[in-house]
Chain A
């Protein structure tokens, strides 16, 4: 050490590593309009594709006449199922073990289904030609109710006729897909029969849509000279798309390059493989020139990736004192016309079996029945890990209903049932091992922060004032405590289309002490280029500013399963740390050689190796990097690179405590959010600024879902919410300022203790907003009303309870 050496604190701060609210490196290009999204891609001679879509929800396709469309100048091709059949591409496998029509093969099963693909010289000519394709339909009875679907003689999937078994076991009916059971039914029923108190409720978690601001799209370019296919697109899992594209097309995987450029938000919408991607590839192969397909907003809302649509019935048993003794849950899951849910293969209802929530429930049973209807396929995890929003909504509503049944305070009921800190790792009744948690501390901190008791007093006074006719506004206090299950997942039980759900990181250190790291994930706004460099900076002692992070190009990035289900930090973040440690292990040997001591005689110190007991003798990582390339070191290969494929030993279990205070105008049904407090525990915090930003965003998407956003159908299967006029996306005007807070309970099995956070606020936010609305009416006999709580529905609740009399 000499006078020129900065102190440890300064050296540590210079790294901009873990815990630093580092400004985002992505923002320079985005703020200047220099992002590169799929629709920005323009290639010489590029054609545009557009779909002819079904106006009917269920119909036979009698005939398709392309003549008039093909006669239009500028139209290059019109593809139908008949054209794709010889290539065996008229159907494609779904992520859920089912298959889906790429283009209508004899019939259509939902409004907006893809019937023909028009390819033309520009988007206007393509749109004109879509209008000229004559399709004759014969209408069939439409089934939009999953309960009716299980009774009717109408067969939706004629291609599955006679198949009594699907990908997930026996089918009970021709419109039934699977039954998925978890837990102990017999014991659960015994507990329910003998319980002091049993609360029962049926709730509908309505169908909605992730609706990122950028819709889905792709550009396919088949280079017939070299036999290479390049596919740019809105892919949350580019490597999986490459593998699927290879399996479907027969093109060898090394001849396919998939690129996810900048992605304008995903939220689960861009996990699936859609007919548009397949058609753009086929069209490029057929025409020999690049073909672009970008859906418009109506197509997005109607055809790609719905979320939720779960009918959930619960029974929760408890002692008179409120100790929960058992939980029973049945779900009727509306999957639409094809089972295209995006879940790990062995989990047809995702991680719905996290529905015991944050509570120590000794016995539980869950059964999910998947059903076909005449609605769009999808079933994606909209800003959540697989079906976790449904699970958390279910248990957090059941807790509220039980509190009503017991005439207890819902905060206290939660407190006495939380899993205790000393019970972790905790084995849940439905099969998960929760890694770590300290729920009581988080809950107490949250309730104290909002002065919970004061709020309840104010609420009681408001009710009295309302009864006296002094106010027309009621006050709701929404509570939720959630446990997420993210970071899918261990290869032993998590795969997608057979590919284990590991993730990866490859690092190259350059001679002058900067680096590039490539990962198998892909950012859609999460800021990976900023945060993964921070993880690495802390591991290898080079400043985050000297580390480039690259993702999304399958020709250069190591194989990974992509970004969704809050898996990037738990899995790829772990791979990054592990690859960094490999770099450091080699750097240690180089440092020891340079310092002429034994490997064990040097130790790591922030950004350098120092000789134990002689801190003035050291080699910085920059010096070591240079030496790796310019010195012949006996027994050590030149260069400084590492790769890690990380198979997580377990999921991670972030948690949080949310409180919402809402004032509701009984006469207009308008809720006003007065306060929203969100405490999140995502383990080790990488970048607090980005964490808070993600929480604001997730809460706003939760607000949307709870208070108005839905994909609604009429009885004929017409989508009633196909534009942003009808599909609620909150603006700055409707959204409050949120208060964020945190506790830190690191994951014991993750290399840096991080758990993932992007989806927590959505998972915990939806029940919190919903509980606030429902709580406002608790004093007047409300028990449960279904979301979305738009003004009209809130007004109806008030009306039903006689508050307008």
Chain B
């Protein structure tokens, strides 16, 4: 066993410090050390996207990044997107448009979608499909996921307009 490193992360706005082996993957540090179990492990090869988080402003698959590489980073997971009393627009949209079934891909899917809508607030259906292609869902066939994301984009844009 190698010597443990001192790791500092800001996760969902909260500063977290802990010791970890340098080889430990970020997803396991989140899930097992910090008990943030929203992001899931589906493949450990970057293909499925169930582990997607936002790290320093970018969508990252936390199953193929060492926690050591993330040292000092600011991280948002599904747990940081909304609260039970005030769901994120995407969380509401996925519920409303049946954008999930077994729920295993959902945290990664919504986290990625939240970043996608920041990158491109007015995506076409094609841009949503392309922008979400790193996240696999086995249940829904994507049709209602795409619908949910487009609906959330409309909602976000409408509230922005209303605020102006």
Interface on A for B, CB 8 Å cutoff? 23-24, 26-35, 37, 39-40, 42, 73-74, 122-125, 211-215, 262-265, 267, 296-297, 524-527, 689-690, 692-701, 723-725, 729, 731-733, 735, 737-738
Give the distance to chain A from B21, nearest Cβ to Cβ, in Å. Answer: 7
Give the distance to chain B from A599, nearest Cβ to Cβ, in Å. Answer: 42
Q: Which of B38, B44, B137 contacts A213 (CB 8 A)?
A: B137
Contacts of A213 in B (CB 8 A): 40, 42, 48, 50, 102, 104-105, 136-138
Once the chains bind, are B132 and A731 in contact (CB under 8 Å)?
yes
A267 and B139 CA atoms in complex are apart in Å by 9
Give the distance to chain B from A80, nearest Cβ to Cβ, in Å. Answer: 25
Q: Does B120 contact A (CB under 8 A)?
A: no
Give the distance to chain B from A537, nearest Cβ to Cβ, in Å. Answer: 19
Range class of the B interface residue count? 35 or more
A267 and B91 CA atoms in complex are apart in Å by 25
Q: Which of A24, A215, A690 contacts B95 (CB 8 A)?
A: A24
Once the chains bind, are A729 and B138 in contact (CB under 8 Å)?
yes
A28 and B44 CA atoms in complex are apart in Å by 27
Once the chains bind, are A33 and B133 in contact (CB under 8 Å)?
no
Q: Does B56 contact A (CB under 8 A)?
A: no
Contacts of A735 in B (CB 8 A): 129, 141-143
Once the chains bind, are B100 and A30 in contact (CB under 8 Å)?
yes
Interface residues of B in 99-157 (CB under 8 A from A): 100-107, 110, 128-130, 132-146
With a 10 A CB-CB cut-off, give which of A31, A40, A297 has the most chain B CB atoms.
A31
A28 and B94 CA atoms in complex are apart in Å by 10
Contacts of B138 in A (CB 8 A): 211-213, 265, 267, 697, 701, 729
Given contacts A42-B32, A732-B128, contact A723 B141 (CB under 8 A): no
Interface on B for A, CB 8 Å cutoff? 1, 21, 23-24, 28, 31-32, 35-45, 47-48, 50, 77-79, 82, 84, 87, 91, 94-96, 98, 100-107, 110, 128-130, 132-146
With a 10 A CB-CB cut-off, give which of B43, B129, B144 has the most chain A CB atoms.
B43
23 residue pairs A–B, Cβ–Cβ below 8 Å: A26-B103, A30-B107, A31-B78, A31-B91, A31-B110, A33-B39, A34-B38, A35-B103, A40-B37, A74-B1, A212-B138, A213-B104, A215-B42, A265-B138, A689-B98, A694-B101, A696-B140, A697-B101, A723-B47, A732-B133, A732-B145, A735-B141, A738-B141
Give the distance to chain A from B47, nearest Cβ to Cβ, in Å. Answer: 4
Q: Which of A73, A700, A724 contacts B141 (CB 8 A)?
A: A700
Shortest Cβ distance from B88 into A: residue: A31
Contacts of B110 in A (CB 8 A): 31
A624 and B138 CA atoms in complex are apart in Å by 44
Contacts of B91 in A (CB 8 A): 31-32
Contacts of B47 in A (CB 8 A): 723-725, 729
Other than the given A262-B102, A729-B47, 8 more pairs (CB < 8 A) read A33-B39, A33-B77, A39-B40, A264-B103, A296-B44, A690-B98, A696-B140, A701-B138
Once the chains bind, are B146 and A732 in contact (CB under 8 Å)?
yes
Once the chains bind, are A214 and B101 in contact (CB under 8 Å)?
no
Give the distance to chain B from A769, nearest Cβ to Cβ, in Å. Answer: 13
Given contacts A32-B82, A33-B37, A297-B43, contact A265 B136 (CB under 8 A): no
Once the chains bind, are B106 and A30 in contact (CB under 8 Å)?
yes
Give the distance to chain B from A698, nearest Cβ to Cβ, in Å. Answer: 8
Q: Which of A26, A35, A724 contacts B45 (CB 8 A)?
A: A724
Contacts of A32 in B (CB 8 A): 38, 78-79, 82, 84, 87, 91
Contacts of A696 in B (CB 8 A): 140-144
Once the chains bind, are B142 and A31 in contact (CB under 8 Å)?
no
A733 and B101 CA atoms in complex are apart in Å by 19
Contacts of A700 in B (CB 8 A): 140-142
Once the chains bind, are B101 and A527 in contact (CB under 8 Å)?
yes
